[in-house]
Structure 1
Amino acid sequence: MAERPPSVAHLLLARVAATPDTEAFRYPVPSAGGGPDDWRSYTWAQSAQRVFAIAAGLMDLGVRAEERVAIASATRVDWILSDLGIICAGAATTTVYPQTNAEETAYILADSGSRVLIAEDAAQLAKVRERRAELPELAHVVVIEPGDAVPAEGDPEGWVLSLADLAERGAAYLEKHPDCVKDTVAGLRPDQLATLIYTSGTTGRPKGVRLSQDTWSYMGLAIEAIQLERPDGVQYLWLPLAHVFGKVLIAAHVQIGHVMAVDGRIDKIIENLPVVRPTLMCGVPRIYERVFNGVAAKAKAGGALKFKIFNWAAGVAREYARVSQENFRRTGRASVPAGLAARHRVADRLVYAKLRAAFGGRIESCVSGSAALTPEIGYFFCGAGIRVLEGYGLTESAAASFVNRHDTNRTGTVGTVLPGGEVRIADDGEILLRGPGIMQGYHGLPEKTAEVLDADGWFRTGDIGELSDDGFLRITDRKKDLFKTSGGKYVAPTEIEGRLKALCPYVSSVVVIGAGRKYCSALIALDEAAILGWAKENGIGGGYAEVVADARTRELIDGYVSELNAGLQRWQTVKKFQLLPRELDIEHGDLTPSLKIKRPVVERQFDGLVEKMYEGA
């Protein structure tokens, strides 16, 4: 891997100089008549012009080195250009999820000491208006889509301005100081603060993770080195950019120079894929689970024969992926027996080709991260010709510490460590990481930092894992999620939860419970679209809650739980379960914005159902 420059801003200047006229970004503009979106583009030179104007505009507002500028917006091209502008101004980006409520938004802005907030719209502005008294350091709010938030004559206080206004100020500042951005970039130090990303956290207040300028340039070069994407490829980016997984993709994009199609509207993914026709897409496991469940439900709705063909093809895909990966591991050749190859060709014509077409027809790989992917789902997609490369990292390690490679993908593992990184397994099985991607520490929390980061630079991840002889890492559970039953047996709940999701296409989320209890139980939320489709076929009327309460639905899920238990050790088996009256979601606080389950919150919200499962025990 080449020696890394001090910052992503340096990578950006090099990219613009190398390929000024090639397409950098693609973004949708909604049609006025309600028809399909109109996709437009920026070249690298056009992108740089906007980035420099934003950077100079921030300088004109008085933003100085390492001062924080927050972004509260959904994923869109303006988010990326603003982030790069903040970096080129020598400042540091504070990320805020757009779903974050006013109280927590104010906490993050105050804790980070953010001087400016770049807000997506009037709704994001309203959150800080009502908390303005708590934010004395917040000097300005810049609104991307101002609407009525910024009066035509401007804000008399000068506290609120539009992104267009900021860019205009920047253009005027650049006329007076033409070298201000390039000089600022030249002066960036590798250890200078670049980003404060607040952990979404499954418990307690979020902590600000301090990531330096050269962390991101390292990530850009490391991802390029493993050839995850090619310069002439198209990546579809919908992940939340407030999350470290989305953020690291920007660094890689700037270094590699491929096209980035940006649209954070999750409800548009299915519609966008055939339009964007990506070669690479990154996502969280829940997306791949939903796609699989959706395809299975569609096949079932097509009749018994169609569903039988789908199940047969799914089995062939999994067998094909397992055998080819195992043979590659042993011999270096991804070969399969002739009979399996023949069955795979038939299944490809009947099922897999249509699935790849739904992804746009050019997809080479998908990356899955942020949480564990159920291996059965991974094997299915790999066998169907859509390689799902699972990776691993944390906010504290800038997202990408491990990732599978195209040719050596090993489903059920998170691949091998990125170039420049180190890994060690502690005596208790905890994964320890060290390298250029590791955080400087938690913002303003030296004691919390010392708990996870030792003097030699080793970071305690809190995850339990196993490392193969050839360096492939398998995550077995979160250290804090492991629990011991009253009988003294340790249980890894995520392993059980993943198995059930692989078995049952109707399951959306599972929380296995049993700490200090005589046996394991589970709270199960069903996928609304899938279960309502099944209910319609079986003459069960009503909405989600009514269908879940029906005895026939419980009987359906009980069959899958029995199948799950047949493959578990006695102390792991789920003795009782309850179906939840709604899906788990961010709005109710059940999930983090990156779709991780907040176990304590879920158990607390449904404590009545939990206690019912242990009555008399």
Structure 2
Amino acid sequence: MAVDPHRQTSLHCLYYWAERNPEKLYLTQPYPDGTVEDITWKQAADQVSRMAAHINSLELPERSNIAILGKNSAHWILSDLAIWAAGHVSVPLYPTLNGEAAAYILEHSEAKLLFLGKLDGTADGWSDIKGHIPSDLPIISLPMSPRNDTPKWLDIIAEHEPAKPRLPDPDTLATIAYTSGSTGRPKGVMHSYRAMMSVADGLQQMFTASSDDRMLSYLPLAHVAERAAVETQSLYFGFHVYFANTLETFQQDLQRARPTLFFSVPRLWMKFYLGVNAKLPPRKQKLLFSIPFVRSMVKKKVLRQLGLDHCRAALTGAAPLSEEIITWYRNLGLELLEVYGMTENFGYSHASRPGQARIGYVGVTNPGVEHRIGDGDELQVRSPGMMLGYYRNEEKTTEDVTADGFLKTGDMGEINADGYLRITGRVKDLFKTSKGKYVVPVPIENRFNHPSVEVVCVAGANQPQPCLMLLLSEDVRGSLATGMSRDGLEQELTNELKAVNEGCEAHEKIAFVVLVKEPWTMENGMLTPTMKIKRNVIEDVYNRKMDEWFEQKKKVIWEF
């Protein structure tokens, strides 16, 4: 399949569907007061054209960089489109950034205008960011913006007639996506419209999406994964996008959307799994699933309560998901398909195909993608979604891209005889014990599975043996706080540690597990926006305690 000439870029797609299906719903936005707004394709195109007229009136320099800061919302996507319709380049910022990082991106990207969206300072970085926005940077407030003293989206579109959009050349720069900065300063990854559209082209060949599909948008749109999976695909295929209001209403938002396609990350798949187990304990599940005339009804009920009973393709990416969790979902009737990609190739790299997935592998190359293993077992990928380079950083571009156009991913991998890729770790995650032996954390972390544990991190550089830090689920932490005995849980974790160590080389065996007190969140910098652990940050926080923990000579150490 080739990209439809009428849908060469995301902006082409908007006007294509506005003409073809003008009254069909495109965006559904819930608001804090309980109201819900539906926006049709015709209304979306009209709002974008009116905002483009306003941007044109500002007489910004040609191809200016314009920032978007806010949680996911209908108007986040409309802002992105309006920037393109006015002939400029969009620069998304993660809403969970701290003030210093936000200031760096605004300065480094040379942003000439900021669209300020949904923020409230509770589950985002607004409280810190607001003091770091340059005073001379013009701001336009979207609905649910924390600022009331700037020009507002709804007022602006009421005051302007629609401008004729500037439909872009597919090979020009569309967006600068800054990496999450898990190590060092964020890098500005430049993507063309064509690279962004390669995702829709390839996924059409694998999953046959259509205008009848539905998705829920809740992972950060500033990340290429959500931008590729939800924004770009919805624009290309013309399907309906729903948004989540808050974490507290997430289940309600999911029930409203009843998505047919659903993309999530391991941390959230684990939360769903733990939530079901809290209501229907594993022992009871095993019993009910063993009764022929009951099992189907119970499984359907579980999926319906999750809001995933209409889901025909469920994707997981950004980090590994354990075999136990994948098997559990498949047993429910939901085939989780692992996908793999990088910011630098707009997430377009590898995917598991329906009916052909292999647990432990992230699938095979997407259409048009090539892969190989380079020095140090590092995976290298050449993709139609490949970046134009890093903004204002040619030296780093040259360092990360080979002379023949392959991206050095930083991930260690293995490719089997059938072309399936297994990610075995991050090149920079390897560490040496005090005995001079290398430890690869990810495979060990993937083997440690317990229904009370939400996320784990293997550490122990320059120590006699590695150790494992773990964060208990919110429900379990709550039960412990109200008097639940620790003894049973401690014994179960000891048994799990023993089982994991049986599969480790001598130098990899985990000395002990630590139950950490402070939750790992995006807000405190220990998780990336896609909920991967920031290993270097976590290690920095706990390194000073390592010697004390080793001296205790216990298998399970409680930090609280």
> Is the structural similarity TM-score above 0.5?
yes
Number of residue pairs aligned between Structure 1 and Structure 2 = 545
The aligned counterpart of 1:13 is 15
Q: 2:78 aligns with which of 69, 77, 81?
A: 81
Return the offset for 1:15: 2.7
Structure 2 residue identity aligned to 1:290: K
Asked if 1 retains the 8 angstrom alpha-carbon contact of 2:272 and 2:306, the reply is no
Return the offset for 1:263: 2.0
The aligned counterpart of 2:526 is 590
The answer to whether structure 1 residue 525 and structure 2 residue 475 are counterparts is no
- Match of 2:207, SS state, is coil
Q: Give the share of equivalent positions with the same residue, in percent.
A: 31
The aligned counterpart of 1:130 is 131
Asked if 1 retains the 8 angstrom alpha-carbon contact of 2:116 and 2:145, the reply is no
- Match of 1:428, SS state, is helix
Return the offset for 1:458: 0.8
Equivalent residue runs for 1:355-394 within 5 Å: 355-360=302-307, 361-394=309-342
Distance 1:285 1:608 in 2: 29
Q: 2:506 aligns with which of 570, 575, 578?
A: 570
Distance 1:7 1:64 in 2: 22
The aligned counterpart of 1:321 is none
The answer to whether structure 1 residue 162 and structure 2 residue 163 are counterparts is no
The answer to whether structure 1 residue 265 and structure 2 residue 255 are counterparts is no
Equivalent residue runs for 1:427-576 within 5 Å: 427-500=375-448, 503-533=449-479, 539-540=484-485, 553-576=489-512
CA deviations on 1:392-430 (whole Å, 9 max, x unpaired) are 011111023112222323332212222122211224321
Distance 1:590 1:535 in 2: 23
Asked if 2 retains the 8 angstrom alpha-carbon contact of 1:521 and 1:613, the reply is no
Distance 1:521 1:271 in 2: 39
Distance 2:494 2:297 in 1: 31
Return the offset for 1:592: 1.7
CA deviations on 1:367-410 (whole Å, 9 max, x unpaired) are 11111111221111012111211100111110231122223233
Distance 1:423 1:464 in 2: 12
RMSD: 2.6
Structure 2 residue identity aligned to 1:2: A
Distance 2:120 2:28 in 1: 25
- Match of 2:83, SS state, is helix
Return the offset for 1:298: 2.1
Structure 1 residue identity aligned to 2:302: L
Distance 1:512 1:534 in 2: 24
CA deviations on 1:498-556 (whole Å, 9 max, x unpaired) are 211xx3111122111133432111122211213434776x744xxxxxxxxx5665444
Distance 1:413 1:121 in 2: 37
Question: Structure 1 pair 123/23, CA: closer, same or farther in 2 (3 Å)?
Answer: closer
The aligned counterpart of 1:229 is 209
- Match of 1:130, SS state, is helix
Moved more, 280-289 or 490-499: 490-499
Asked if 1 retains the 8 angstrom alpha-carbon contact of 2:32 and 2:245, the reply is no
Equivalent residue runs for 1:260-299 within 5 Å: 260-263=241-244, 265-299=246-280
The aligned counterpart of 1:308 is 283
Asked if 1 retains the 8 angstrom alpha-carbon contact of 2:224 and 2:346, the reply is yes
Moved more, 484-493 or 204-213: 484-493
CA deviations on 1:203-255 (whole Å, 9 max, x unpaired) are 21111111112111222222222225332121112111111111112111111
Return the offset for 1:135: 6.5
- Match of 1:267, SS state, is coil
Unaligned 5+ segments in structure 2 are: 554-560
The aligned counterpart of 2:515 is 579
Question: Structure 1 pair 39/225, CA: closer, same or farther in 2 (3 Å)?
Answer: farther
Q: 2:64 aligns with which of 45, 62, 67?
A: 67
The aligned counterpart of 1:53 is 50
- Match of 1:215, SS state, is helix
The aligned counterpart of 1:323 is none
Question: Structure 1 pair 460/259, CA: closer, same or farther in 2 (3 Å)?
Answer: same
Question: Structure 1 pair 235/45, CA: closer, same or farther in 2 (3 Å)?
Answer: same
- Match of 1:400, SS state, is coil
Asked if 1 retains the 8 angstrom alpha-carbon contact of 2:216 and 2:259, the reply is yes
The aligned counterpart of 1:349 is 296
Asked if 2 retains the 8 angstrom alpha-carbon contact of 1:195 and 1:210, the reply is yes
CA deviations on 1:54-74 (whole Å, 9 max, x unpaired) are 222211222354211111111
The aligned counterpart of 1:251 is 232
Q: TM-score, normalised by structure 2?
A: 0.90
Question: Structure 1 pair 298/569, CA: closer, same or farther in 2 (3 Å)?
Answer: farther
The answer to whether structure 1 residue 22 and structure 2 residue 19 are counterparts is no
Question: Structure 1 pair 201/126, CA: closer, same or farther in 2 (3 Å)?
Answer: closer
The aligned counterpart of 1:103 is 100
Moved more, 526-535 or 343-352: 343-352
Asked if 2 retains the 8 angstrom alpha-carbon contact of 1:425 and 1:465, the reply is yes
Distance 2:268 2:232 in 1: 23
Structure 2 residue identity aligned to 1:269: F
The aligned counterpart of 1:599 is 535
- Match of 2:49, SS state, is helix
Question: Structure 1 pair 534/565, CA: closer, same or farther in 2 (3 Å)?
Answer: farther
Return the offset for 1:147: 7.4
Return the offset for 1:114: 0.7
- Match of 1:87, SS state, is helix
The aligned counterpart of 2:558 is none
Asked if 1 retains the 8 angstrom alpha-carbon contact of 2:75 and 2:143, the reply is no
Structure 2 residue identity aligned to 1:242: A
Structure 1 residue identity aligned to 2:342: L
Distance 1:272 1:296 in 2: 21
- Match of 2:92, SS state, is strand
The aligned counterpart of 1:214 is 194
Distance 2:49 2:360 in 1: 43
Return the offset for 1:577: 2.2
Asked if 1 retains the 8 angstrom alpha-carbon contact of 2:234 and 2:241, the reply is yes
